[in-house]
Amino acid sequence: MPGFELFGDDERKEVNEVLESGILMRYGFDAARKGRWKAKELEAAICKELKVNHAQVVSSGTAALTTALASLGIGAGDEVIMPVFTFVASFEAVLSVGASPVLTDVDETLTLDPQAVEEAITPNTRCIMPVHMCGGMADMDALKSIASKYNLPILEDACQAIGASFKGNYLGTIGNAGALSFDFVKTITCGEGGAVITNNKSIADSCDAFSDHGHDHLGKDRGADLHPFLGYNFRISELHAAVGLAQLRKLKTFVTMQRERKAILKESIGNIRGISFRKLPDPAGDNAAFLTFFLPNEKAARETTKAIQAAGLSAFYWFDNNWHYIRKWNHLKAGQSLYGLHADQLSQLQKLNERNFTQSDSILSRTISMPVSLSWSIDNTREKAQKLSETLSSMAGVLV
């Protein structure tokens, strides 16, 4: 992680084909584009690679989540259950369709705790949205069982986990719909981009129209299209799609590289007292973008994070992160928005100030993640693993 680390001639070739045609928009201009349809090619390639029936590429992972929520019929007065550990885009998308995010505890998978999900369900719940964080996966069997019990759709936020799987099925393809992100720091990148994936044709048709101003794309040209419902401009450009097409062809290679390098790092610290690892419901399906481990307590995690960084290695301490954990989402808890939020949304956000997320605090305050780089050689990875091992071993006094 991320794909930009291995950007090269393959990406340039695809982009140059778009530049040669001069057609940067994904729709129309049929004659001038010389048979080049990069967005369509990328959609077909995603379907083939991830073994899913439909893909709609859009301008970002946030746009993918918004498009998927709208296509699932989620809107004003509805509640969407999502985890307290995610990226801010997850709740931004929920709010953007007029629904209310219901923030819920994570467990040691660092994803939705199934028990907490069931406890959070109300008569207004309309969707469960697991977020597959840091390349790993939620317990999809447990979440599907709950969703079936309460007749709720599942929207998988797989923006950080493309290429990861659960029991043989790619993340994003297990629920009713899934969202992927191809931004600059994801496992594969378009620069900016995303996709909705689904096996449901009705959802796919809605995504196709919603992401392009409601165009039904059934006319001979855009001027002949009808508009069965309102939509927005979440289109991807041909330039961005071209980059993603080249990157997608490398996905299996990227994931294999990450897994090899993560295994080296993990082995180097596996026997150090006081270290335990993130729970993965299907370890074989991890896309291995991060090595994530737990320390005995918050003090140990803070001191160890500083020591790892002082050793010249990268380490994320999510508990203090203002992008990814509810603790620093003050703007959300205050309902600070440039446009007016409706009463249901403000009421739900106000509850965040009163709720106790002790379970998640206990887990995230002990959590460190180390990103796995595609730019590392195997020898370089072994050197980093040795440095990581030495650093953690030197912290024996606090790892108790």
Residues 152-166 pLDDT 10s: 999 999 999 999 999
> So what's the pLDDT on residue 259?
98
In this structure, the answer to whether residues 94 and 212 fall within a common structural domain is: yes
pLDDT of residue 265: 98
- Active-site residue among 186, 266, 333, 384? 186
Q: What is the pLDDT of residue 400?
A: 75
Of 211, 234, 250, which one is at a domain's C-terminal end?
250
Q: What residues are paired with 290 via a beta bridge?
A: 371
What average pLDDT does the segment 98-113 reach?
98
End of a domain among 189, 223, 250? Answer: 250
**CATH code of the domain containing 276:** 3.90.1150.10
> Is residue 398 assigned to a domain?
no
Is residue 186 annotated as a catalytic residue, yes or no? Answer: yes
Give the Cβ contact number of residue 79 at 10 Å: 22
Q: Output the CA angle 100-151-98, nearest 5 degrees.
A: 20
240 and 269: one domain?
Answer: no
204-221 pLDDT, tens digit per residue, is: 999 999 999 999 999 888
CA–CA distance, 61 with 107 (Å, rounded to integer): 24
Are 228 and 270 in the same domain?
no
Measured over the CA atoms of residue 261, residue 267, residue 272 and residue 278, the dihedral's sign is positive
> How confident is the model at residue 349, as a pLDDT?
97
Same structural domain, 257 and 239: no
pLDDT tens track for 26-78? 999 999 999 999 999 999 999 999 999 999 999 999 999 999 999 999 999 99
| Domain hosting residue 131, numbered range | 3-250
- How many C-beta neighbours within 10 Å does residue 148 have? 10
Q: What's the CATH number where 175 sits?
A: 3.40.640.10
DSSP string, 283-315: GGG---SEEEEE-SSHHHHHHHHHHHHHTT---
pLDDT above 90 as % of the chain: 97
Secondary element (H or E) of residue 207: helix 201-210
Of the candidates 293, 307, 267, which has an alpha carbon nearest to the alpha carbon of residue 392?
307
Q: How confident is the model at residue 1 (pLDDT cuts 50, 70, 90)?
A: confident
pLDDT at position 225? 94
In whole numbers, what is the pLDDT of the chain averaged over residues?
Answer: 97
Last residue of a domain, one of 217, 250, 283: 250
pLDDT given for residue 399 in this prediction: 85
3-state secondary structure of 28: coil
What's the total number of domains in the chain? 2
Please tell me the distance from the alpha carbon of residue 190 to that of residue 398, in angstroms, as a whole number. Answer: 42
